[in-house]
């Protein structure tokens, strides 16, 4: 089947942070260096070639960009300075925009200023909503918990669950689109439903362990990423399912707050280390920082700090200041999660395990196809 080329693909990917791919002359050093590159998923060379040739459909249907964890060794070994690691990162941004049916991810990745404007708008609308709710119910800024609380548990609970539901729906639709592009394309092998069921355990395993990232030479990036992810997921679960315990006080309910304290420490520590590494260009994968990278880390640290401040103010008996800090914190939470979960960097937490899952299914399907062909050819060889 003929493949249609897009002559503007290189130019398009450059807007997502791709390096000068014209420097690549396919010596293969990048692929030979990568510890994660194995048949039938060879990268970065294969993806770089598809990009150079303008094979947009092949690039969209590929899983290789998600199987790369950007340790940066390929870029360090490139004799031409083509920076394949950063180009693979740009492909992940581009693919995120391709999976997103709304076009919002495309807008954010191509214009960090637009993302800032949208985040500020969401934050202001969130703050306005809680203030109007307080005025409507006759709540007092000097009351933190119970009757007439400025930020009542019931309102925050509805807000959290509504936002979670909308984000899950959006991300699920994008994940289905990812499946369609990668598993139903002309370049993929059809797999039986049973194979999807056999491999399903890979999803939670790789989500909670990021095990593939740990296979890179340096374990430090994996550890920072894992702590950051688990800390945020833990805090999110606490807020969604144990909001009453978190908001009750001022005494501390250790059965819930102990995990919250650990999560807060993890967020601040891992977030600070990642931010510092980007500032100082310490790691190969932090030599280049895109606008969305700074927005993600900066907002994440802002949420961690405002959450800690709100908690301390509440426990020390300063309800008015605690309410104000809580309001600012929730404004940040809304703008962060609405922009990052379905459209930004946090969506990678879904796409990476899915890519590993789909890759395993494709490998099994290819192996079954090869075995079937071998069996069908056996009588011909015998004759």
pLDDT in tens, 93-147: 999 999 999 999 999 999 999 999 999 999 999 999 999 999 999 999 999 888 8
Distance CA 223, CA 96 (A): 24
pLDDT score of 193 more than 60: yes
Residues 219, 226: contact at Cβ < 8 Å? no
Tokens describing residue 127? 């703050």
Q: How confident is the model at residue 380 (pLDDT cuts 50, 70, 90)?
A: low
- Residue 23 confidence (pLDDT): 92
Strand partners, 110: none
CA dist., res. 367 & res. 79, Å (int): 35
Joined tokens for residue 342: 């379905």
Given CATH 1.20.950, say whether it is the number of domain 104-363. Answer: yes
pLDDT of residue 93: 96
329 pLDDT higher than 60: yes
Mean of pLDDT values over 147-162: 90
Q: Which of 12, 290, 346, 293 is nearest to 170 (CA)?
A: 346
Q: Is the pLDDT of residue 185 over 90?
A: no
Q: Where are the domains of the chain?
A: 9-99, 104-363
Determine phi and psi for 38, rounding to 5 degrees. Answer: -145, 155
Tokens for 113? 């200023």
Q: What is the pLDDT of residue 3?
A: 66
The pLDDT score that the predictor gives to residue 298 is 96
Do the beta carbons of residue 84 and residue 75 sit within 8 Å? yes
Mean pLDDT of all residues in 147-158: 90
Q: Determine the Cα–Cα distance for residues 27 and 22; give it in Å rounded to an integer.
A: 13
Structure confidence at residue 382 (pLDDT): 64
- In angstroms, the CA 58 to CA 53 distance is 10
Model pLDDT for residues 282-298, shown as the tens digit of each residue:
888 888 898 999 999 99
* Residue among 4, 5, 16 at smallest CA distance from 290: 16
**How far apart (Å, rounded) are the C-alpha atoms in residues 263 and 248?**
19
pLDDT value of residue 118 = 97
Give the CATH H-level superfamily of domain 9-99. Answer: Alpha-helical ferredoxin (1.10.1060.10)
Share of the chain above pLDDT 70, in %: 97
Asked if the model's pLDDT at residue 75 lies above 80, the reply is yes
pLDDT tens-digit readout, 198-228? 999 999 999 999 999 998 888 899 999 999 9
Q: Is the pLDDT of residue 2 over 60?
A: no
User: 234-289, pLDDT tens digit by residue?
Assistant: 999 999 899 888 887 788 888 899 999 999 999 999 999 999 999 998 888 888 89
How high does pLDDT run on average in the chain?
Answer: 91
Model confidence pLDDT, tens digit, residues 23-62:
999 899 999 999 899 888 999 999 999 999 999 999 999 9
pLDDT value, residue 347: 96
How far apart are the C-alpha atoms of 141 and 325, rounded to whole Å? 11
pLDDT of residue 10: 93
């Amino acid at each position: 089947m003929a493949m249609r080329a897009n002559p503007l693909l290189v130019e398009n990917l450059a807007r997502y942070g791709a390096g000068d791919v014209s420097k690549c002359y396919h010596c293969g050093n990048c692929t030979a260096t990568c510890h994660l590159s194995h048949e039938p998923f060879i990268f970065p060379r294969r993806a770089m070639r598809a990009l150079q040739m303008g094979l947009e459909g092949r690039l969209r249907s590929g899983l290789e960009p998600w199987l790369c964890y950007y340790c940066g060794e390929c870029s360090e070994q490139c004799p031409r300075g083509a920076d394949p690691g950063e180009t693979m990162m740009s492909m992940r941004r581009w693919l995120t925009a391709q999976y997103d049916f709304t076009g919002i991810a495309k807008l954010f990745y191509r214009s960090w200023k637009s993302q800032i404007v949208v985040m500020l708008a969401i934050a202001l609308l969130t703050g306005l909503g809680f203030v109007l709710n307080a005025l409507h119910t006759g709540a007092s800024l000097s009351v933190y918990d119970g009757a007439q609380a400025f930020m009542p548990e019931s309102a925050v609970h509805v807000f959290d669950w509504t936002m979670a539901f909308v984000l899950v729906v959006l991300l699920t639709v994008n994940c289905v689109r990812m499946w369609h592009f990668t598993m139903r394309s002309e370049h993929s092998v059809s797999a039986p439903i049973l194979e999807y069921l056999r491999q399903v355990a890979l999803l939670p395993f790789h989500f909670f362990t990021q095990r593939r990232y740990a296979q890179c030479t340096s374990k430090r990036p994996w550890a920072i990423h894992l702590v950051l992810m688990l800390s945020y997921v833990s805090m999110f679960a606490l807020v969604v399912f144990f909001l009453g315990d978190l908001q009750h006080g001022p005494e501390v309910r250790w059965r819930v707050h102990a995990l919250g304290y650990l999560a807060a420490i993890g967020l601040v520590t891992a977030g600070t280390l990642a931010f510092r590494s980007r500032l100082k260009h310490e790691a190969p994968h932090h030599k280049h920082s895109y606008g969305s990278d700074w927005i993600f880390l900066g907002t994440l640290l802002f949420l961690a700090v405002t959450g800690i401040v709100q908690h301390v103010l509440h426990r020390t008996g300063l309800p008015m200041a605690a309410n104000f800090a809580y309001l600012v914190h929730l404004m940040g939470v809304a703008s962060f999660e609405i922009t990052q979960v379905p459209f930004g960097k946090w969506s990678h937490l879904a796409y990476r395990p899915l890519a590993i899952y789909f890759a395993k299914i494709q490998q099994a399907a290819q192996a079954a196809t090869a075995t079937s062909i071998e069996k069908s050819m056996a009588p011909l060889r015998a004759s």
